[in-house]
């Protein structure tokens, strides 16, 4: 995240300040982001506890 934020500041700072960070995003894009973020968290929780499930077998 740090490197991506630095790239935005270096390359697109004026565009982000003038138009906003989410300029050009469609509604479906926002829905996809809101869908994928919790999905990643769920996958990480499954991976965290999967080892415990394997040990019980």
Q: pLDDT tens digits for 6-54?
A: 999 899 999 999 998 888 899 999 999 999 999 999 998 888 888 766 6
Model-level pTM greater than 0.75? no
Q: What does the pLDDT look like over 2-19, one tens digit per residue?
A: 999 999 989 999 999 999
CA within 13 Å, CB half, 12: 11
Cα separation, 45 vs 35, whole angstroms: 16
**Angle at CA 56, nearest 5°, toward 50 and 57?**
95
- How much is the CA Rg of the chain, to the nearest whole Å? 18
* Residues 8/16, Cβ–Cβ less than 8 Å: yes
């Amino acid at each position: 995240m740090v490197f991506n934020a630095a790239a935005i500041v270096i390359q697109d700072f004026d565009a982000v300040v003038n138009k906003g960070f989410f300029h050009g995003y469609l509604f479906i894009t926002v829905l996809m982001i809101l869908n994928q973020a919790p999905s990643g968290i769920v996958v990480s929780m499954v991976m965290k506890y999967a080892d415990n499930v394997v040990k019980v077998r």
